[in-house]
């Protein structure tokens, strides 16, 4: 297997893990990740599927790349077009959890799947996802990554909550756990410390 094929395979697997993580956390009913609070709220208001809303916000984020002069890569496009369909697929396939224990298991599995997906996608070195690129593009204008990420996630969380997206203990647990787990995942799954030309390494943004 060539290095490029390995990168592409890992990228696609990572997007699948991301979609699985979204579906597990939504089905847990214990509160969604910040961006997925927005996706859930949009889905409830519009009647569209959560996956369709995931794709829609990705497209909107990419449009915001234009004034920031960000350049998408293969990973960016793959993330934008596959995350939503994967989420809808797993939402269709997964059985509904029965009871607190199974719902908690879904939540823990969701965080693990999202962390693994983060490591696969970012570790592939093929370009940031739409939301990652929005964050790093704004940060490049003279702001800290931490403040930009916090501002974006608070904004989407608040908007999603106002639209009726599910917020709960799972939202807080995700926020506390995803950073350290994703960092470990990236370290473990990075294919090469030097990404392909034109693609800068980015920090996780889920």
Q: Which two tokens stand for residue 61?
A: 């984020």
Of 63, 42, 84, residue with least CA distance to 134: 63
Asked if 28 and 97 count as a contact pair (C-beta separation under 8 A), the reply is yes
Q: Look-up: residue for tokens 């224990």?
A: 101
Q: Which two tokens stand for residue 58?
A: 């990705």
Task: Read off the pLDDT of residues 130-183 as tens digits, 9 standing for 90 and up.
Answer: 988 888 788 788 887 678 878 888 999 999 999 999 999 999 999 889 888 888
Distance CA 56, CA 192 (A): 31
Whole-number pLDDT of residue 143: 80
* pLDDT top residue among 87 and 195: 87
Task: Read off the pLDDT of residues 56-79 as tens digits, 9 standing for 90 and up.
Answer: 999 999 999 998 888 889 999 999
Asked if 47 and 188 count as a contact pair (C-beta separation under 8 A), the reply is no
Whole-number pLDDT of residue 135: 81
pTM across the whole model: 0.86
Distance CA 39, CA 45 (A): 10
């Amino acid at each position: 297997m060539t290095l490029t094929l390995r990168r592409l395979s890992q990228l696609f697997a990572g997007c699948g893990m991301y979609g699985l993580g979204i579906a597990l956390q939504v089905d847990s009913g214990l509160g969604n990740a910040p961006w997925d609070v927005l996706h859930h709220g949009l889905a409830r208001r519009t009647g569209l599927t959560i996956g369709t809303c995931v794709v829609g916000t990705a497209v909107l984020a990419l449009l915001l790349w234009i004034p920031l002069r960000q350049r998408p890569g293969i990973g960016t496009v793959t993330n934008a077009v596959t995350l939503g369909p994967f989420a809808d697929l797993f939402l269709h396939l997964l059985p509904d959890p029965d009871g607190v224990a199974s719902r908690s298991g879904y939540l823990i599995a969701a965080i693990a799947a999202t962390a693994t997906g983060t490591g696969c996608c970012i570790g592939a070195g093929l370009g940031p996802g739409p939301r990652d690129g929005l964050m790093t593009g704004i940060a490049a204008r003279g702001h800290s990554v931490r403040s930009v990420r916090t501002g974006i996630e608070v904004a989407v969380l608040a908007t999603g909550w106002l639209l009726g997206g599910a917020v709960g203990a799972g939202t807080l647990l995700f926020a506390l756990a995803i950073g350290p787990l994703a960092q470990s995942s990236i370290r473990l799954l990075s294919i090469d410390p030097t990404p392909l030309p034109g693609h800068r390494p980015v920090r996780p943004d889920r």
